[in-house]
Amino acid sequence: MEQNFRDNLTEFFELTKTKPWGRLLAVQCTANDLIKWRQDNIHETLLNVLNTEGWQTESSEDWSGRNSSSDIFYIFKVHELWKSIRLNGTKSPVHVHAEAGYNNCYFHPSNNKIEVLCEYFPELPITVLWHDYDLLQQLYPQPNLNWFEYLIHFEITDEREYRELYNLDPNDEELELIWGWDWVKNIISNDNAWGKLKPRARDWRAVEDHTGDPRWDNALFLTVTDRYHRKAMSHNQTKLKDIIQVKPGQAKFCGKWYDTER
């Protein structure tokens, strides 16, 4: 069963000060600064949904507790994220992670959020979280590790700074925040770790065993995720016909027209 690990943020930042591993950075940017690494699934998934029989009457309330890998769930989630960002900006962090040893980056647990930002709000100012690992910078250097250098960025050194980035409130019932952190060596290959709360094995597949090296032994991973979209889907009781407008050869979704001819 997937599980969370440690969630005491004070302890995380105390360890960061006593056992250096790198820096947790807040980077001020726009989605355009990250667009070269995003996945671009919105258009194709929309076409898949439009080719599903009876798609018009599918309800967000019915899908709020279902499998997140479904095309219909994805479209409802994208719409809720688009609506929330349009009205309130980003309400929880976008996480950017390096693929160790390769000139690539991934977004997790915020992959869908960066898709929405790139697709609909490419110029919106956002602050993203970046783990700047000494191990990767010094032993697995790639150009992607310095993507943030020309942007305004600062190190987060305590819990207060971390929470203030997004006014993160653990009692916010709308977001339902879930925290998690641990040593990378403890969670990178643990099959029971929830994927949103760990570096993905693919990201670190090029990293060899560096036991005894403090750059590896001290390396920490921190994240926060939320259930905002599921709660919004449950409360809004929206049908797909309410959020997708179709006409011959085109469909309008999240304020944008898409061609429907494959």
> What is the token pair recorded at 249?
């050869």
Q: Residue 175's Cα: distance from chain center in Å?
A: 14
Q: In this predicted model, what pLDDT tens digit does every residue of 84-138 receive, in sequence order?
A: 899 888 877 788 999 999 999 999 888 889 999 999 999 999 999 999 999 999 9
Edge-to-edge strand order for the sheet containing 153-155? 105-107, 94-98, 126-133, 22-29, 153-155
Helix (H) or strand (E) holding 43: helix 42-50
Name the phi and psi angles at 229, rounded to 5.
Answer: -65, -40
pLDDT at position 132 is 96
Asked if 30 and 123 count as a contact pair (C-beta separation under 8 A), the reply is: yes
Could you say which residues of the chain have pLDDT below 50? 1
Between CA 30 and CA 11 the distance in angstroms is: 31
pLDDT at position 256 is 96
pLDDT at position 69 is 74
pTM over 0.85: yes
The residue whose two tokens read 């709360």 is 197
DSSP codes joined into one string, 128-171:
EEEEEEHHHHHHS--GGGGTTTTS-EEE--SHHHHHHHTT--TT
Q: In this predicted model, what pLDDT tens digit does every residue of 115-130 receive, in sequence order?
A: 999 999 999 999 999 9
> What is the token pair recorded at 93?
């962090």
pLDDT at position 1 is 41
Between CA 182 and CA 234 the distance in angstroms is: 32
pLDDT at position 227 is 63
pLDDT at position 176 is 66
